Amino acid sequence: MKVIMLGAPGAGKGTQAKKIASKYQIPHISTGDIFRANIKEGTELGKKAKEYMDQGLLVPDELVVDLVVDRVKQDDCKNGYVLDGFPRTIPQAEALDKALAALGEKMDYAINVDVPDENIVKRMGGRRACVGCGATYHIAYAAPKQEDICDVCGKELILRDDDKPETVQKRLDVYHEQTQPLIDYYHHAGILREVDGTVDIDDVFASIIKILGE
C-alpha cells in the first residue's frame, strides 16, 4: 500500500503517518525528518535545507525529488510506504508519478488531513519534538508522561525552530500557494481521500483505517 499524507503544516500528517506505518508495517518516509536529521548531522544537504526551513520556505524541488525517488526504490519499500511532507509542489508530484510509472507502479491513496488555519496556529505553539528520536508531542493534546522528557528515549523535548509564530504564518502562506493545489491534482488522479483532522488523534486515525481497510 502506497500512501501520501497531504495537509497543512501541523495538520497531523506526521502523527497519523507514524500510526499508519506501525499498523500496516510499512516505512514512514518524512522529508521534514530527513532534512532535520541532516541538519543535526551537519551535512551539506542539511546546511542548504536549513536556510529555507528557518524562513518557512520550501526547500528547492531538486534537493528533494531524487532523495525520495531513491528512498522508495529500497528493499523495505517493496510492500508500500507512507510519504509525509512529499510531494509538496506540482513538479514534485509529477516527478514522483513519472518515477513510479517507470517502475510500473503508482500511488494508491492521497489522504488529506483537513484542519483550518485557526486551529493550526494554536497547535504549533504546543508541539514539542524529541532531540533524540524525533518523536512528537503536544503539551495539551498528546503530552509526554514527564514534562519536556521523551517517553520513548528519555531525551529532551524542544520547540522546533520553524514553529515560532511568525514562521508558522509564513509556512501556512507557502502551503496555500504551493501545496494546496495538490488536492486537485490527486482528486483528478482519483486517489484523493479527505479526513477531518480537527477531532482527537485516535478519531482521525479511525477515519483513516476506514479508508485503508483493517
Residues near ligand AP5, by CB under 6 A: 7, 9-15, 31-32, 35, 52-53, 57-59, 64, 85-86, 88, 92, 123, 126-127, 136-138, 141-142, 162, 171, 197, 200-201, 204
Q: Which does 28 bind (CB under 5 to 8 A by kind): Zn ion, ligand AP5, none?
A: none
Edge-first strand listing for the sheet containing 109-114: 28-30, 81-84, 2-6, 109-114, 192-196
In one-letter notation, the amino acid at residue 60 is P
123 is catalytic: no
* Shortest distance, position 34 Cβ to ligand AP5, whole Å: 8
Alpha-carbon distance of 136 to 133, in angstroms, equals 9
Nearer to ligand AP5, 20 or 53 (CB): 53
Ligand-binding site membership of 92 (annotated):
yes
- Distance spanning both ends of the chain, measured CA to CA: 12
Alpha-carbon distance of 214 to 209, in angstroms, equals 6
Site of interaction with Zn ion (CB under 5 A): 130, 132-133, 135, 150, 152-153, 155
Ligand-binding site membership of 77 (annotated):
no
171 is catalytic: yes
Cell 491513496 belongs to 109
Which of the following is catalytic: 2, 19, 50, 88? 88
Nearer to Zn ion, 40 or 98 (CB): 40
Ligand-binding site membership of 134 (annotated):
no
Q: How many helices (H) and strands (E) does the chain have?
A: 9, 8
Nearer to ligand AP5, 58 or 82 (CB): 58
Q: Which residues of 117-152 are buried (b: 16+ CB within 10 A; e: fewer)?
A: eeebeebbebbbbbeeebbbbbeeebebeeeeebee
160 is catalytic: yes
Dump strand ranges (E) for 59-197: 81-84, 109-114, 127-130, 136-138, 157-158, 192-196
Q: Which does 19 bind (CB under 5 to 8 A by kind): ligand AP5, Zn ion, none?
A: none
User: Which residues carry a binding-site annotation for AMP?
Assistant: 31, 36, 57-59, 85-88, 92, 160, 171
Give catalytic residue positions.
Answer: 13, 88, 127, 160, 171
